[in-house]
Structure 1
Amino acid sequence: MASVYRWTFALLLSCMAGSALAAGNPLSVHVLNLQDGLPSPDVRVTLEQLKGDGWHALNESVTNEQGRITALFPPGRALESGTYKVTFKTGDWFATHKTQTFFPEVPVIFNVDGGVEHYHIPLLLSPYGYSTYRGN
């Protein structure tokens, strides 16, 4: 029983540390696998910004053990109002786990209006469906 409490406490501290890191970066993501209810580590995620002539790459990262990227926006740059796209490379992740999927990637296009300091995009994932929303 004590190990359950230690694990729960460690998870709580990890989440708090992730939140503290995210506070300094305007964009974070989180991937949870709905099939088993666990975080999805090692999902490659790209970030692009829509400019006049198309999408321009800004950054790329991989989710940590908690399925999070706490700082996806490039350091040293200001988050401008506009349209952005976060793409979760889900096909690669499912292939690594020897699971077929209908969605090789999940693009999430969203608008930044400057109304908040931090944008969080969670992805709830299964092999044949997904859901996302504006988190905080």
Structure 2
Amino acid sequence: MAGYLTTHVLDTALGLPAEGIGIALYRVSGNSHRKIAEAVTNFDGRTDAPILPEGKFKTGTYELIFFAGDYLRRTGQAGGEPLFLDAIPIRFGMSEAVHYHVPLLVSPYGYSTYRGS
């Protein structure tokens, strides 16, 4: 089986998928970050395709950055400037060539993630 990476974003404050959140994926090596993909969440809070498809998958350390600030502003949840949460980084490792799913659960003042399926 070839590995790949998917993600999605759920707004836990509104109880809805978070549409229109920009996401960047970086490969991390030591202090070096190299952007390898970008996507935007659709109406279901998911990217239209895996953010790291089978043909580009390599094991290693990665970082997803979720640009939640514009979404929070657009949905009236932002509060004052500067935002408490704006760009949300999640660093994780992928050690096997399998399906990894790294979702983001977000609200204006907190977030969490987990390894999904």
TM-score by length of 2: 0.86
How many residue pairs end up in the alignment? 112
Change (3 A) 1:123 1:53: closer
CA root-mean-square deviation: 2.0
Unaligned runs of 5+ in 2: none
Alignment-derived partner of residue 105 in structure 2: 124
Higher strand share: 2
In the alignment, what sits opposite 1:43? 21
The share of aligned pairs that are identical, in percent, is 38
Q: Which runs of 4+ in 1 moved over 3 A?
A: none
Q: Which structure's residues are more often helix, by fraction?
A: 1
Gaps of 5+ in 1: 1-23
1:72 to 51, 55, 71: 51
Mapped partners of 1:104, 1:74: distance in 2: 26
Larger Rg computed on CA atoms: 1
Q: 1:85: which partner in 2?
A: 63
Higher relative contact order (CA 8 A, sep 6+): 2
User: Take 1:50 and 1:89, find their aligned partners in 2: how far apart are those partners?
Assistant: 18
- Return the offset for 1:131: 0.9
After TM superposition, the score normalised by the length of structure 1 is: 0.74
